[in-house]
Amino acid sequence: DQQVKQNSPSLSVQEGRISILNCDYTNSMFDYFLWYKKYPAEGPTFLISISSIKDKNEDGRFTVFLNKSAKHLSLHIVPSQPGDSAVYFCAAASGTYKYIFGTGTRLKVLA
């Protein structure tokens, strides 16, 4: 049972445009959400997080939006840069120590 889903395996975006990566979850107990970026041959790197008491969190070019009623979160990258090309994982957690990850979306930013 995949509790955290990233339904788009890949996404291509032109440099300078907005990248929107989506994530859906099924467990209403999740109350903390994170996005990670992964380059080949490296471990995932933490990007940005949001708790369920907020609906938006912004850090530079990265913004995460949370829609609790739809059990949906998204990561916006504006403007997209070639160095943003990587696999992006969303993750969800509750008070039970477990961070549950999605299967990832491969973002390619075209120069």
Partner 1 sequence: DSGVTQTPKHLITATGQRVTLRCSPRSGDLSVYWYQQSLDQGLQFLIQYYNGEERAKGNILERFSAQQFPDLHSELNLSSLELGDSALYFCASSAADRGPYNSPLHFGNGTRLTVT
Task: State which of residues 93, 107, 108, 109 lies at the interface with partner 1 (CB under 8 A).
Answer: 93
The gap from C-alpha 62 to its chain's centroid, in whole angstroms, comes to: 10
- CA neighbor of 105 nearest in space, from 1, 19, 16: 19
Provide the minimum distance between the beta carbon of 17 and partner 1 in the complex, in angstroms, as a whole number: 27
Window 23-42: residues binding partner 1 (CB under 8 A) = 32, 34, 36, 41-42
Q: Is the dihedral of CA 106, 18, 55, 47 positive or negative?
A: positive
Provide the minimum distance between the beta carbon of 1 and partner 1 in the complex, in angstroms, as a whole number: 11
Q: Does 96 bind partner 1 (CB under 8 A)?
A: yes
Provide the minimum distance between the beta carbon of 5 and partner 1 in the complex, in angstroms, as a whole number: 9
Burial 53-78 (b: 16+ CB within 10 A, else e): eeeebeeeebbbbbeeeebebbbbbe
Q: Which is nearer to partner 1, 30 or 85 (CB)?
A: 30
| Phi/psi at 22 (5° precision) | -115, 155
Q: Does 45 bind partner 1 (CB under 8 A)?
A: yes
Who's near 43: CB < 8 A, 6+ residues apart?
none
Q: Does 62 bind partner 1 (CB under 8 A)?
A: no
> Given the rule CB under 8 A, which residues bind partner 1?
2, 4, 6, 32, 34, 36, 41-46, 49, 51, 89, 91, 93-104
